[in-house]
Amino acid sequence: MSDKEHARRHVKWFRDSSPYINAHRGRTFVIYVDGAGLSHDNFPLIIQDIVLLHSLGVRIVLVYGATPQINRNLARRGIVSESAEGIRITTAEMLPHVQEVVGRLRSDIESMLSMGATNSPQHGADIAVVSGNVIRARPLGVRDGIDFHNTGEIRRVNADLIARLLSMRTLLLVSPLGYSLSGQMFNLHGSALAADVAVALGADKLIYLASENGVKDSQGDVITELQADAIKPDEYPPYSPVAQAREACLRGVPRCHLISFRDDGSLLEELFTRDGIGTQITETSYEQIRAAAADDISGIMELLAPLEASGTLLKRPRETLETEISRFLIIERDGMVVGCAALYPYDTRAELACLATHPDYRNDNRGEMLLDAIEANARTLGVKTIFALTTHTAQWFSDHGFIPGSTKDLPSEKRALYNYQRNSKVLVKTL
């Protein structure tokens, strides 16, 4: 690729990302990086991307884990570490070594966030990093006969203090340690801590940077979106990012993201492109069918334009769409119209028109989703039969329950407007 072509692509990507820059400004993101991520070669690049997010006005809480580092530290000292229920049993003997590792990692992260040399990507960022006792904890205690000693769980997140710190344009760094009212220290599970912090803050996003890039289907492909209530609790370990993201969504966090720390730029690609790179877990789908409004007209016109140019659809001027917008349903995906359809009733019959999906989103049954929604609307209006006129997609309609008809099946008003030169096929479906 030539330098000029590379520059053009960069400019296009930057322009395409501008809606996300505006949408993310002033939002609160909780980002979790596990201990393996801190040790990976990509971590300095992740830090640069976090600094970029901060520079764009995102309020960031960075939570980190330390499991592999603690394991190595304990092994060097000949201390055997045991686990139960997926979490470490932290004895009093271990606690100073846990504290040592966590403190060293905090200093390392603070040092990396403080870089600002002239030749550094972080030049001029000048981030103030804050950490402290914002987490109240309590002991897990004895469970099923197992004493967890100094392993704890979150009792309270000081959300008011964190909010004040974030309002001062600081970046908050939260370690996997919590403190009781009596001054005891407890070792916490980082992924659960990140979820509790996100819930307490009412964060806009919770982002897990882990070894795997999201959730994969049976073919090994990344599932781009999952709804929280569709994830079965017993499918994943309770402290896994998937399980914790599910819980966070069900407790009010709108969107959680699962991406890999191994992929350079995964954080930016997930946040600044429409389809991202990992798995997004939401309380409700971020792609919704809804009634169209006046603000959607430009998006509908952009969607229909290629089909009108090819002759697949008749051209509808903006003025026509403005008067008929109440007839339309759309599929909206992150502010973009990726599908539309219209219903024009004629007593007990109705026309299905302008059924279209964006070329990039034609393989996930969106046409079927629109058809189902249109049919549901038609039934509420007392429509018994719907019909469609098409020159290119008769087979699709046939595959979805339509049968060949003729102009005699059209309402008289529609029959009078039928274009015999266009010779559209008439397809009919009884509801």
Q: What percent of the chain has pLDDT over 70?
A: 96
**pLDDT tens-digit map of 400-413:** 999 999 999 999 99
- Residue bearing tokens 């009884």: 430
Q: Do 275 and 224 contact (CB within 8 A), yes or no?
A: yes
Q: Do 91 and 149 contact (CB within 8 A), yes or no?
A: yes
What is the per-residue pLDDT for 221? 86
Rg (C-alpha) for the chain, rounded Å, is 27
What is the per-residue pLDDT for 286? 64
- How far is the C-alpha of 112 from the C-alpha of 365, rounded, in Å? 46
Q: pLDDT at residue 120 above 80?
A: no
Q: pLDDT at residue 428 above 70?
A: yes
- How far is the C-alpha of 408 from the C-alpha of 413, rounded, in Å? 12
**pLDDT tens-digit map of 148-169:** 999 999 999 999 999 999 999 9
- How far is the C-alpha of 117 from the C-alpha of 52, rounded, in Å? 15
Lowest mean pLDDT across 38-42, 282-286, 373-377:
282-286
- How far is the C-alpha of 126 from the C-alpha of 321, rounded, in Å? 50
- Token digits for 411? 């309402």
Closest CA relative to residue 349, chosen from 401, 400, 384: 384
* 421 vs 272, more confident: 272
**pLDDT tens-digit map of 188-231:** 999 999 999 999 999 999 999 998 888 888 888 888 888 888 88
Q: Alpha carbon 394 to chain centroid distance?
A: 36
What is the per-residue pLDDT for 102? 95
What is the per-residue pLDDT for 312? 83
**pLDDT tens-digit map of 239-254:** 999 999 999 998 989 9
Q: Is 145 exposed, middle or buried (0-12, 13-18, 19+ CB in 10 A)?
A: exposed
What is the per-residue pLDDT for 10? 73
Non-local CB neighbours of 378 within 8 Å, separated by 6+ positions = 343, 345, 350, 386, 431
Lowest mean pLDDT across 283-287, 331-335, 379-383:
283-287
> Cβ of 319: how many Cβ atoms within 10 Å?
8
What is the per-residue pLDDT for 117? 45
- How far is the C-alpha of 351 from the C-alpha of 363, rounded, in Å? 24
Confidence category of residue 124, pLDDT binned at 50, 70, 90: low
Superfamily in which the 288-430 domain is placed by CATH? Gcn5-related N-acetyltransferase (GNAT) (3.40.630.30)
Q: pLDDT at residue 118 above 50?
A: no
Phi, psi of 130 (to 5 degrees): -125, 140
* 96 vs 12, more confident: 96
Query: What residue spans define the domains of the chain?
Result: 3-285, 288-430
How much is the pTM? Answer: 0.72
What is the per-residue pLDDT for 137? 93
- Token digits for 387? 């019909």
Sheet holding 135-139, edge to edge: 152-157, 135-139, 177-179, 185-187
Domain 3-285 falls under CATH 3.40.630.90: no
Q: Do 241 and 25 contact (CB within 8 A), yes or no?
A: no
Q: Mean pLDDT, to the nearest integer, of 355-360? A: 88
Q: Alpha carbon 60 to chain centroid distance?
A: 17
Average per-residue pLDDT for the chain: 89
CA distances from 401 to 45, 52, 200, 356, 393 (A): 53, 51, 49, 18, 13
